[in-house]
Amino acid sequence: MPTTWRALVLCRPFALLALLLPLVAAADAGTARTESGLLKGTHAAGLIVYKGVPYAAAPVGDLRWRESQPVTPWTGIREANKFAPACTQKGVSMPGETPPDISEDCLYLNIWTPATKSTQRLPVLVWIHGGGYSNGSASMPLYWGDRLAHKGVIVVTIAYRLGPLGFLVHPQLTRESGHGASGNYGLLDQIAALHWIQRNIAAFGGDPHRVTIAGQSAGSMAVSILMASPRAKDLFQHAIGESGGLFEPFQMAPIYMLANAEQQGEKYSTSLGVASLADLRRLPADRLLEGSAAEIAHPILDGYVLPMSPYDAFAAGRQNDVPLLVGSNAEEARSLIDVSGVGAGTFAADLEHTLGPLPPAIIAAYPHATDAEARQARLDLERDLRFGWDMWAWARLQVRTGHSAVYYYTFTRKPPFPADSIYAGWGASHFAELWYVFDHLDPSTWPWSQTDRKLAEAMSDYWVNFVKSGNPNGSTVPPWRPLVGDNGPVQYLGDSITSGTLSDPGRLEVFDEVYSSLRH
């Protein structure tokens, strides 16, 4: 099956001596003592915010394409009052986003804490941004942790290397690594950030034993990988995945295998006119975004960060077994593809041109007798192919082989996106739940209704409750029952909040059958 079948939207612990350092807040409120030195945050509406906190050394020069290394300690007080540049990238992770400042020196995180003293031991939410592993920013205003922090949790947003700087696989890198693998540097950054949080978050009033990792799109895929990675064991206690997972059979995407990815990396370096690793490390960072860079931005099965595919790890019960909150949106594809030219007569041919040959059973599961049906079928198929099946598989696997509860949702609310905006016609699309999860309606001056505000209050409460306890339930929200079987209960988050069964399991079961046949 062609590699185009499924288009992705796509640490070593530091010195033990650092664990013995006193991680306590300084006497001056708003100053925290980390293992590398003192940090001075800013007070904002009852919170203390630390921006641009280094969690690893700048991955530049000889550190390009190496595991994250410790931060060089500093003397005096470092001002943490300005966001660091995002990691080197082209474009933006989300339509309408203001392009961020970028730099190869980008391994920083941001902290919003309501703690007034370091002994509070508040639960911690760690946000991993999306962007197809090619772009995105830890400081995008939509991800700011102010509203969630006011509900009693510490919010940390982390940056990680992207594109070829984060995921290049190359035989020379494999040989020099010392563990027979290359690539996945962006994932190693995430693991390094989680180690940093384990060692330092107490200085900000956080509890290193109550850490929740969460992400959307590629960030959610990263959460699925971290749950499957032995290198992330014991670094988090709960996990949240929104519209992204990596559970398809790797047999249908050979680019996920180390040897194939090495060949791809060699072709990429050739496209840049260089052959040696030394020459690659000397190239300016922006040059690395040329050539076939877009084909490099994905994780691989490297035997180090990811010894086996997430599906196989979960199926064998070898995942990091923690409570899981996971789901997707009812109209994911509306923000991602244009179906205005889709018609009944060319439906199958158009699919083959875009995705490669599809099994007839999958095409048949999406009726397309009329042009209107074909347009809807194209949206539904894209939703299920890229998001719906992954989230369903992830949830079911955890129920079957794990011992921790799973809370499964479908987001159905259509935000009031203005007709003259880039978001027009999106509906309950990819990205749409983010305004509600972070309770960030007001920064966008759209005609939000009381229904929107109630949903944002409830969803942010659910997420915060889950961060606190591994259970989204609480006195302010409708009950949310954990998933117990293949088809429910599902929490529908929309105009109202209801509990029910999966709305259309038949189509997902078709994907299941096709994927199962590929695995055998």
pLDDT, tens digit (0-9, with 9 covering 90-100), for 124-177? 999 999 999 999 999 999 999 999 999 999 999 999 999 999 999 999 999 999
For the chain, percent of residues with pLDDT exceeding 90: 87
pTM of the model: 0.94
SS3 426: coil
All residues at 6 or more sequence positions from 47 whose CB lies less than 8 Å from its CB, including other chains: 112, 113, 114, 146, 149, 150
pLDDT of residue 5: 35
18 pLDDT more than 80: no
State pLDDT tens for residues 326-372. Answer: 999 999 999 999 999 999 999 999 999 988 888 899 999 999 999 99
Read off the pLDDT of each residue in 90-94 and give the average, rounded to a whole number. Answer: 93
Grade residue 15 by pLDDT with cuts at 50, 70 and 90.
very low
| Gyration radius (Cα) of the chain, Å | 22
Question: What is Dmax (Cα atoms) for the chain?
Answer: 72
Topology of domain 11-68+100-322, CATH: Rossmann fold (3.40.50)
185 pLDDT more than 90: yes
The domains of the chain are located at: 11-68+100-322
429 φ/ψ angles, rounded to the nearest 5 degrees:
-95, 180
Distance CA 284, CA 83 (A): 23
**Active-site positions?**
217, 332, 430
pLDDT of residue 26: 40
User: Identity (one letter) of the amino acid at 252?
Assistant: M
| Region of poorest pLDDT, from 7-16, 301-310, 375-384 | 7-16
Q: What is the DSSP string of 455-515?
A: HHHHHHHHHHHHHHHS----TTS---PPP-BTTB-EEEESSSEEEE--S-HHHHHHHHHHH
